[in-house]
Amino acid sequence: MSTDPAPPYWLLISVLFSNQPLTPSLAMTLHQVAFELHQRGEGAKEVAGDMVSGRVVNLRKDVSFGGIAGPAFEAEIETERGSGVVRFVLTRQGLERMKQPPAEPPRPKYLN
């Protein structure tokens, strides 16, 4: 059991525009697909899950808004609430955190 929980979605992704409400689960799904695209240098990937389907596109450019900067992505999605578009940035802070190796679980302490 790891004591290092997954980073919160607002650390990993900054939403620039969305015409659909973004749940934490949906934000993490979009982040995961965008992170894979960024790591592999690919242009687009389908996304599918229990509550979403669609396509995430790597816009292949970095954007900066005040203190938030990173690679830009756009997703066209279908959810139970209908179709939508989400434009977002993977934050530099989030990218650095994803590159770190996962923390090792604490070793048990023995009394004797």
Question: What DSSP line would sit under the chain, residue for residue?
Answer: --SSPPPPHHHHEEEEEESS---HHHHHHHHHHHHHHHHHT-SEEEEE-SSEEEEEEEEEEEEEETTEEEEEEEEEEEETTEEEEEEEEE-HHHHHHHHSPPPPPPPPPP--
pLDDT, tens only, 41-90? 999 999 988 889 999 999 999 999 888 889 999 999 999 889 999 999 99
What is the predicted pLDDT for the residue at 2? 46
Please state the rounded mean pLDDT for residues 1-12.
61
pLDDT of 96 above 50: yes
Q: Quick one: pLDDT band at residue 1, thresholds 50, 70, 90?
A: very low
